[in-house]
Chains A and B, each alone.
Chain A
Amino acid sequence: MNLDRKTTPSIIDAVSFDLHLKKCDEYNLDNGIPVYSLNAGAQEVLLIEWVFYAGNWYEQKNIVAATTNFMLKNGTSQKTAFGINEYFEFYGAYLNRSCYNETATITLHCLSKHVNELLPVVAEIIADSIFPEEELNTYRKNQQQRLSVNLKKCDFIANRLIDEYIYGIHHPYGKYTSTLDYDQLNREELVAFYQQFYQQGKCMIFTAGKVPSGLDKSLNETFGHLPLQQRAIPTIQYHLHPAIEKKMHIINDPNGVQGAIRMARPFPNRHHPDYQKVQILNNVYGGFFGSRLMSNIREDKGYTYGIHSYIQNHIHEGAWMISTEAGKDVCKATIEEVYKEMDILCNEPIEEEELSLVKNYMIGSVLGDLDGPFQLIARWKNYILNGIDDQYFYKSVALIKTTESDELQELAKKYLNPNDFYELTVI
């Protein structure tokens, strides 16, 4: 048999696929909490997420939001921290909480068969957390220790500073934590924040996986009569205070063998008309393994294990960011190459062959990303929190298919101007 191994087998261009985003069901509990539900998947597993508008956007003092969120698992009037952990772990369930800029969440992963045992304890946490002083002291001390280790890492320092340069140290997107912040935490502030933003706060619920029949009823019985949804989300405006100096070089560890490089410029949020098309340009530039930054700086020069560019996923204003860790002696050369690649995108149109590859790759990854209930609900959650709907999805897919090289070159000229970029190296 004569097998031709030189030629690619014929493929169907992913851009010809008709992508479909499965709708999620939507209903309200008696107290007005909206529930978004996606029933899919073969495994008997379930994810439920409670989303509160309790992010650091709403705190008046540093880390109050994050600490309140963390301590939701550290005691109610009925159960100790140990009791709460043991309860969920007995059912093989995972109860996590996370604090973001605008929102803060409680997330339950469990086998579908156990969900009815678990919901009442989640309700207890939302309605009746007590924030024991001793738990707070332990948390404070252990977090301070953790911070002291992180402060030795160049990537950790770089991530903090680049955000500060773009947004300013008083903006929720730009501020970060100091040891002193932990010292200054006090229990009363946590309790007040909890009352306003959890107990009486605005809540949304997302569920996905093999949703057992009657879950809507159980959710309503357990959460539909809590005194949530009573406080409006306060309107708070923050002003940006971007740094004046654009180029920074910091020695954090004189013996360091690598530098953490971050380069970034402000970039609008996803409601801006350029946003979706720039995602395509970003993929060409540094958004995936086959991108120009990766091909040049890792695969051709071997300066780094990895280099990426991305648009920060913020609800308000964002940034276009380039991020890498490179050998100490090649940091300067790496930065030069990053600018060189910007320059090429501004001055030369992307060849059809490269652009079609990127488009097919992007559609293929959207297709892969629509596979599985947890991925689907994450996409829906993102849309709902950003005030967009599935039309955004279809528009985005259409733009991937139709955007032309000259449009991308115009966008490159508009946004990839080296003078607009902050440039930071931390060794």
Chain B
Amino acid sequence: MIQYNRFILDNGLTVLVHEDNATPMAVVNVLYDVGARDENPTKTGFAHLFEHLMFGGSVNIPDYDEPLQRSGGDNNAYTTHDLTNYYCQLPAQNIETAFWLESDRMLSLAFSEKSLTVQKKVVCEEFKEHYLNKPYGDVWHKMRELAYTVHPYRWMTIGKELSHVENAHIDDVKAFFFKHYRPVNAILVVAGNVKTAQVKQLAEKWFGPIEMGEKYIRSLTKEPLQQEARKLTIEAAVPLDAFIKTWHMDARLEKGYYAADLLTEILGGGGSSRLYQSLVKEQKLFSNLDCHHFGSIDAGLVTIEGKLVKGVSMEDAEQGVAAIINAIQEEHVTENELTKVKNKTESIIAFEDMSVMSRASSLAMYELLGDANLMNTELDKYQQITSQDLQFYSKQIFRESNSNTIYYQAKK
């Protein structure tokens, strides 16, 4: 049970406090309700580029990192399709430094042209390092475009193409900031060796004076139900053939999400999972094989991907996968196997909750989903899933007409 206190400032900023006096540290986590799904399709990659710009100086403070490091602190940030999250950890005595820094960049950035120029280059190098200069690096760009026709999960958080990042203009930066980076669209979590009264006083002092801004109301087009299987063959200079297939699954808060999560564990989680045991170890069709999903807030994708053992045909590999899926749709998962994946989930949650930083970001994420207390009811939702549920959802998810397949073939 994770304890926390919640209050909301007059300007709409939600503040959560999680006290833990066993640590000498404090964590300040600021989540903004904006991600790659909120981007203009002709200016993709912007939410992530913007995350970089948040370190390029704010209206009163030329350098974010320097004073934080001087206070003994460290920080980082990440952007997903759904949200952007900034966190710093520092000795609890110096927590006011974090309030000062985070509130100033919520007040306003410096909007420096130099920072924009440099960070565009840095992000382009990041793009190259992770997606262009790696074998199979473009596979998720292709898969997202195949699986989503209208929903903005169609593109990667890094951006659809380098030119979108290269063409970003300082006016775009300003408009994005004042639309999304307002108190009313943010969640502040303070955790560690702190007291709620102290946090309240500091939050009022530093964040209180910031103008509320307008609540961003998201209206994304829902991805229509897929009616027909989609397939794509790619040839590239890679050493091995790869197979990747996805199916649409339910959104984060739906029951189907929890079922899909357990299904991916049964199919692909660890050395005793069905796909690994059958297709890697027994039939030797794949040299490695994963089954996973991204935990996205809107309806996401269940994925099975792997590299084929040399000499195995794509068709045989695909049939191997189909047989495993067929079995989970036709026969009930045994109690033993269901207990296994639930035990695993219990254990994953316990390990995640070890660090204060991870507890802080989870609280922010669940608050974004609607209520921080969802963090405490999560395990129950998994416990309630039955083997009947798994059968029902495996039939709903793993329909061929709901699938997207890429044959990623090694150029001969």
Contacts and interface: CB of A to CB of B under 8 A. Distances in A.
Nearest to A299: B118
Contacts of A11: 70-71, 93-94, 96-97
Contact of B354 (A92, A93, A304, A372): A372
Interface in A345-400: 356-358, 360-361, 363-365, 367-368, 370-372, 374
Given A149-B135, A149-B239, A89 B97 contact: no
Interface string B124-151: 1110110011111000000000000000
> Main SS of chain A's interface residues?
mixed
Nearest to A1: B209
Given A11-B94, A374-B354, A301 B24 contact: no
A121 interface: no
A148 B96 CA distance: 51
B277 A82 contact: yes
Interface stretch (B4-12, B336-344, B360-368, B391-399): B336-344
Contacts of A290: 65-66, 69
B270 A152 contact: no
Contacts of B103: 5
Given A357-B66, A364-B73, A149 B307 contact: yes
A145 B120 contact: no
Contacts of A153: 133-135
Given A303-B121, A365-B74, A257 B133 contact: yes
Contacts of B91: 12, 14, 17, 364, 367
A364 B91 CA distance: 6
A149 B272 contact: no
Nearest to B63: A290
A304 B122 contact: yes
A364 B74 contact: yes
Contacts of A12: 91, 93-94
Contact of B25 (A148, A255, A371): A371
A77 to B, nearest CB: 19
Interface residues of B, number: 81
Given A11-B97, A41-B354, A111 B72 contact: no
B117 A82 contact: no
Interface string B79-123: 000000000011101101101100110010000000001111111
Interface in A286-305: 288-290, 298-305
Interface stretch (B43-51, B279-287, B318-326): B279-287
Nearest to B71: A11
A56 B190 CA distance: 45
A89 B344 contact: yes
A238 interface: no
Contact of B125 (A17, A111, A148, A302): A302
B373 interface: no
Contacts of A414: none
Contacts of A368: 25, 74, 89
Interface stretch (A29-37, A42-50, A98-106, A182-190): A42-50
A371 B93 CA distance: 15
B378 interface: no
A358 B72 CA distance: 9
Contacts of A92: 340, 343-348
Most chain A Cβ neighbours within 10 Å, of B70, B128, B237: B70
B309 A145 contact: yes
B69 to A, nearest CB: 4
Contacts of A372: 354-355
A357 B69 contact: yes
A371 B66 contact: no
Contacts of A146: 287-288
Contacts of B238: 149, 152
A9 interface: yes
B122 A85 contact: no
A73 interface: yes
B271 A85 contact: yes
Contacts of A145: 239-240, 287, 307, 309-310
Given A89-B271, A301-B118, A360-B69, A138 B346 contact: no
Given A153-B133, A365-B72, 4 more contacts: A6-B61, A141-B284, A142-B280, A367-B25
5 contacts: A3-B206, A17-B72, A73-B271, A305-B122, A357-B69
By Cβ-Cβ distance, the 6 closest A-B pairs, closest first, are: A364-B72, A302-B121, A92-B347, A85-B271, A14-B72, A92-B343
Interface of B: 20, 22-25, 59-61, 65-67, 69-74, 89-91, 93-94, 96-97, 99-100, 103-104, 107, 117-126, 128-129, 132-136, 205-206, 209, 237-240, 269-272, 277, 280-281, 284, 287-288, 307, 309-310, 336, 339-340, 343-348, 350-351, 353-356
